[in-house]
Structure 1
């Protein structure tokens, strides 16, 4: 019976490779070949068997029981990133303070997309962050594009409020309420930009 140093590796192969890598024994070498009998054993880990149903019930905040909201979160992340790109493009077209306000909105929309993406990750264990789809700038006049964004922010706020009412997850509910408040505030910032034009 061959003594195993590592799973799937016998001692002779290890020593042959080691001599190729480290031909001379050096005092400053951080590695030491330890005999299997001399290796300390690791403490036993006790795993308490918990039925999957009980485990899901104990994680009420952004846990597996909130997985039904996954597609909805993906949609919200997509819409926030689209709004981010649109506000960035509009910020370049609006001079002065209005452009700076739109640039600030774009940054806030990206942060909101990040918060939604983090919630998605905590629920599913999968990172969802779509590739940047830059797209062509809107050919419509600036005022028309701002009007469209004003209406979109109001729709987003209504969607977030409905989502908050439709979840049992207290963390998601809070995130959706917060997102709705921010979307409403963004609508009023866009209105302010239009008033300055």
Structure 2
């Protein structure tokens, strides 16, 4: 008869206890110690984990809206911000010189120009991580007859609208494209507002 190891009992402990019971091996002993068969450890099943692409991990290449891939438009955005802030200062100066509703229209136009510069500056920051807001850039607008200054701004708004539309056609960034189209439409509206002010003078 074979004596099996007790559950939870190690081989060494069992042999030590068995030697106390049977200090000498005897031929007439009906019991025989049967050591458990060594079984291989069960294989650890690991599910295959797909390799993570570094581009997916960083996420930089996936950003198509105002991401690092649009950094090529950085100088262009800086130029537009400068132009919008220059128009803001010019409209502020003209608003102080035009009486009545014309002055109020120019004052509102100046505020819209500043907001447009802010939107462009925000896009620049999202792309580059650098804040671009040239508060002190540019000189004060030259003092000239109001009608001449308004005519100059009317033409500047038309040129700006054309530049924005060309920029929209030249970018693969859908957010920049929408921003440039929006800026072009606003510049065309501003040109008509300036025309309306001139008609009141």
Structure 1 length-normalised TM: 0.72
| 1:78 to 1:53, Cα distance in 2 relative to 1, 3 A | farther
The number of equivalent residue pairs is 150
Secondary structure of 1:57's counterpart equals coil
Correspondences of 1:53-68 after superposition (within 5 Å): 55-68=59-72
Secondary structure of 1:58's counterpart equals coil
Cα contact 1:154–1:184 (8 A) shared by 2:
yes
Residue 140 of structure 1: CA displacement?
1.4
| 1:125 to 1:57, Cα distance in 2 relative to 1, 3 A | same
| Cα distance in 2 between the residues matched to 1:80 and 1:192 | 20
| Cα distance in 2 between the residues matched to 1:73 and 1:53 | 29
Residue 55 of structure 1: CA displacement?
3.5
Q: Does 1:71 align with 2:89?
A: no
Residues 57-94 of structure 1: CA distance to partner in whole angstroms, max 9, x if unpaired?
31000000000000000000000000000000000010
| Cα distance in 1 between the residues matched to 2:187 and 2:181 | 10
Q: 2:160 aligns with which of 145, 151, 156?
A: 156
Residues 143-173 of structure 1: CA distance to partner in whole angstroms, max 9, x if unpaired?
0000000000000000000000000000000
Residues 102-128 of structure 1: CA distance to partner in whole angstroms, max 9, x if unpaired?
000000000000000000000000000
Find the counterpart in structure 1 of residue 112 from structure 2. Answer: 108
Q: Does 1:193 align with 2:197?
A: yes
Cα contact 1:60–1:169 (8 A) shared by 2:
yes
| 1:107 to 1:165, Cα distance in 2 relative to 1, 3 A | same
Secondary structure of 2:96's counterpart equals helix
Correspondences of 1:1-197 after superposition (within 5 Å): 50-51=54-55, 55-133=59-137, 135-197=139-201
Residue 49 of structure 1: CA displacement?
5.7
Structure 2 length-normalised TM: 0.71
- Consecutive unaligned residues of structure 2, counting only runs of 5 or more, are 1-51
Residue 179 of structure 1: CA displacement?
0.2
Cα contact 2:89–2:140 (8 A) shared by 1:
no
Secondary structure of 1:61's counterpart equals coil
Residue 139 of structure 1: CA displacement?
2.2
Secondary structure of 1:51's counterpart equals helix
| Cα distance in 2 between the residues matched to 1:135 and 1:71 | 20
Q: Which has the larger radius of gyration?
A: 2
Secondary structure of 1:129's counterpart equals coil
